[in-house]
Amino acid sequence: MATPRRMGTETSETRVRLLDVTERIMIDDGYAAVSSRRIAKDAGVTPALVHYYFGTLDDLFLALLRRRAEQQLARQQRKLSAERPLRSLWEASKDRDGARLLTELMALANHRKVIQTELAEYAERFRAIQLKALEDHVADLGVDVPPVVLLVLIAGMSRSLVLEASLGMTTGIAETYEVIERYLDQLEAAPPAG
């Protein structure tokens, strides 16, 4: 029986830094640019330390996914209970870096089963939480589609538009934003007129 590999603690500052650096690499240069050497270089440590904290690169990707997801879950919980959950749901996906990171994770998930499973699981948790918030809220909005459909539509279009804009597309994007946001304002209380 081999001696179990040593590994750093969850709360280590260095560990946090390695995750931060990895996120930045993925956003800037894609998941394929992630390597223990590159991470080490950007973080100012040695490659061996990456393996000390995470074992394999897959474990590192998993840790990154979990941290990000938990952050977002917490943030979402707060915002969804506000007075305009549809709108906050809509805004949630607007962050460009977040959208790129998600794209990279989805591309990763396409061929790394552990990532796919974990990512799908978190996505479903998000959806369940959002659905609950909407169900409590949407009944009296007079919408003709089920809350879950409204949810899938808003989340899907939000992501889609950010990706198209991030790719450099322009046709129809501003117009679609306007139509959707007008619709949301109509459903939920419009902001106070200036």
Partner DNA sequence: GTCTATAGTTCGATAGAC
Partner DNA sequence: GTCTATCGAACTATAGAC
Query: Quick check: 173 binds a copy of itself (CB under 8 A)?
Result: yes
Residue 65 and residue 105 in contact, taking contact as beta carbons nearer than 8 Å: yes
Say which entry of a copy of itself, DNA, none residue 134 contacts (CB below 5 to 8 A, set by partner kind): none
Could you tell me which residues come within 8 angstroms of residue 127 by beta carbon, excluding any fewer than 6 positions away?
151, 152, 155
Residue 162 and residue 99 in contact, taking contact as beta carbons nearer than 8 Å: yes
User: How many other CB atoms are there within 10 angstroms of residue 167's CB atom?
Assistant: 7
Site string for a copy of itself, 125-144 (x = CB under 8 A): --xx--x-------------
Question: CB of residue 167 vs DNA: minimum separation in angstroms?
Answer: 24
Residue 54 and residue 63 in contact, taking contact as beta carbons nearer than 8 Å: yes
Question: CB of residue 52 vs a copy of itself: minimum separation in angstroms?
Answer: 24
Residue 142 and residue 149 in contact, taking contact as beta carbons nearer than 8 Å: no
User: How many other CB atoms are there within 10 angstroms of residue 47's CB atom?
Assistant: 14
Q: Return the range that interacts with a copy of itself (CB under 8 A); candidates 14-22, 28-36, 47-55, 84-92.
A: 28-36
Please state the three-class secondary structure of 90-158 as a single string: HHHCCCHHHHHHHHHHHHHHCCCHHHHHHHHHHHHHHHHHHHHHHHHHHHHHCCCCCHHHHHHHHHHHH
Site string for a copy of itself, 62-101 (x = CB under 8 A): --------------------------------------x-
Query: Quick check: 19 binds DNA (CB under 7 A)?
Result: no
Question: CB of residue 99 vs DNA: minimum separation in angstroms?
Answer: 24
Say which entry of DNA, a copy of itself, none residue 163 contacts (CB below 5 to 8 A, set by partner kind): a copy of itself
Q: Which two tokens stand for residue 26?
A: 């993925």
Question: CB of residue 70 vs DNA: minimum separation in angstroms?
Answer: 21
Q: Please report, as ranges, the residues that interact with a copy of itself according to CB under 8 A.
A: 28-33, 100, 103-104, 106-111, 116-117, 119-120, 123-124, 127-128, 131, 145-146, 148-149, 151-153, 155-157, 159-161, 163-164, 166-173, 175-176, 179
Which residues in this chain contact DNA in the complex, by CB under 7 A? Answer: 2, 5-6, 8-9, 12, 14, 34-38, 44-49, 51-52, 55-58
